[in-house]
Amino acid sequence: MIHTKLTERFSLKHPIISAPMAFAATGKLASAVSDAGGLGLIGGGYGNLEWIKQQFSMVDPSQVGCGLITWKIEDNLGVLEEVLNLKPRAFFLSFGNPKVYAKQIKDSNIPLICQVQTLEDARNALACGADIIVAQGCEAGGHGEKRSTLTLVPEVADLIANQYPQVLLCAAGGIADGRGLAAALMLGADGVVIGSRFWASKEANVFPDMHNAAVASTGDNTIRTKVMDIVRHIDWPERYTARVLKNDFTDRWHNNLEQLIENSEVEAQKWQQAWEIGDPKKSNTFVGEAAGIINEICSVDTIIHNISNQAEKLLGRQWE
């Protein structure tokens, strides 16, 4: 067993948190992660309350947390309060300034996890009272930014060690096996937040063709882009892009965003139809560079077992 400050504080068997992936991270996925000894998070994403409540109805909220996309909360302020009333195990904010919402979450006695993409974001989240900082590198699947995990994690680790030693740190972005977990701990993290590897699990809400496309891909086949947000009419702040599998759609539009905007009505319809049937050729498969080290779709239990066994061996001793 690998014991860290994260396993201690949250009474976990493994220092592994599953990312609150919009659409994919259902109650089923989150509770499977918690049952296997990690901390599972429901992907509250853009704040569809009906969906979030449905997922919570399937889980023990004292065992699973929830995430929301920070910049989107202001469009629907009631959602934050409703989710807090469900008393999740932890609350995860990412993509935007947590300042306005941090007090409300902390006042509810729910641990606040803030995912950050830069050192400056980390400074801000720490000043807001985050209990866990997640340093997310650009290898990550889904939305993110430009810094890489290998340098962002130790930089944030130093900041925390010097100024906020009570705060925990997790690494995110590109971690999908025991090598990644061991490396993250060596970089100064207390644990990891894993998205893509859990997305590629039997419990995730993902269409089989998208799973198959990811398993057949290498890390080279992914790209950070804005094309999908243009056709979905989701107004993401300029700084964020999302990592998806390359396909004809990204080839056609990634370097022609203005033209895509001009054609967005027609393209949106085609994209949406493909998304609804999980067609990886005509819509986008959200997965990270870790696609290159994900070779099969397995159960959450197997994933966690394999990651932690491999990490223990690599770290060269049994962690007590």
Please identify, using beta-carbon distances, which residue of 21 and 132 lies nearer to ligand FMN.
21
Please identify, using beta-carbon distances, which residue of 115 and 241 lies nearer to ligand FMN.
115
Q: What angle do CA 153, 227, 172 make, to 5 degrees?
A: 15
Give me the least distance between CB of 147 and ligand FMN, in Å please.
12
Give me the least distance between CB of 32 and ligand FMN, in Å please.
16
Q: Measuring CA to CA, which residue among 198, 178, 211 is closest to residue 31?
A: 198
What is the side-by-side order of every strand in the sheet holding 16-18?
Answer: 16-18, 191-194, 168-172, 132-136, 112-116, 91-94, 64-69, 40-43
Please identify, using beta-carbon distances, which residue of 41 and 59 lies nearer to ligand FMN.
41
Site residues (CB under 6 A) for ligand FMN? 19-22, 24, 43, 45, 67, 69, 94, 115, 136, 139-142, 172-175, 193-196, 199, 286-288, 290
- Its sign, for the CA torsion 190, 43, 138, 182, is positive
Tokens representing residue 171 in the block: 């690494």
Please identify, using beta-carbon distances, which residue of 263 and 298 lies nearer to ligand FMN.
298
Q: What angle do CA 99, 102, 108 make, to 5 degrees?
A: 165
Please identify, using beta-carbon distances, which residue of 154 and 263 lies nearer to ligand FMN.
154
Give me the least distance between CB of 183 and ligand FMN, in Å please.
13
Backbone angles phi, psi at 304, to 5 degrees: -65, -40
Please identify, using beta-carbon distances, which residue of 120 and 265 lies nearer to ligand FMN.
120
Give me the least distance between CB of 258 and ligand FMN, in Å please.
27
> Cα separation of 216 and 118, whole Å?
31
Give me the least distance between CB of 246 and ligand FMN, in Å please.
15
Give me the least distance between CB of 165 and ligand FMN, in Å please.
24
* CB-based closest residue to ligand FMN: 195
Strand, coil or helix: 133: strand
Tokens representing residue 118 in the block: 């830069």
Q: Measuring CA to CA, which residue among 295, 301, 272 is closest to residue 284?
A: 272
> Cα separation of 246 and 189, whole Å?
31
Please identify, using beta-carbon distances, which residue of 20 and 37 lies nearer to ligand FMN.
20
Give me the least distance between CB of 168 and ligand FMN, in Å please.
16
